Structure 1
Amino acid sequence: MAEVIHDEESGMWVASCDALSVATEAPTYDALTKRFWEIAPEVAAENGLDFDLETTRIDFIHATGFSARDLLVG
């Protein structure tokens, strides 16, 4: 799983995956996922982790900065 956030201050999308020790950013969500797939095999290999583009599945989960209270109070 890669956690994705949008940094409002910089306008960048950021993804991090603890399991693969991968973190990257890009100006759009589509560019972010593309960049992630470009660097993930090399970063995983540098960390001694197996990574196969053909069989590896990564779920990109968009995390928000809202708490339940923020949503209820609206």
Structure 2
Amino acid sequence: MSQVHNERIKLSATWLNGLSIAIFAVGGLAPLLTRFYDGATFDKESMAISVGCFLAAFGIHLIARDVLRRLKS
């Protein structure tokens, strides 16, 4: 039964990490790269959104790592 438990825990951690990557890519990285390649200036609002997405992605990644601590041996 612990093998099923471990697989569910790993699946949950993988889902959270995937969510973290999506938030990082779409909300944090894409707007910065778009502004960089367009040559537009960085406004405070866009920068705040990007930083917020970076922090949210990092926080969700840390939660995913914490979920993995529930694995049973």
Q: Is TM more than 0.5 here?
A: no
Higher relative contact order (CA 8 A, sep 6+): 2
Larger radius of gyration: 2
Query: Which is richer in helix?
Result: 2
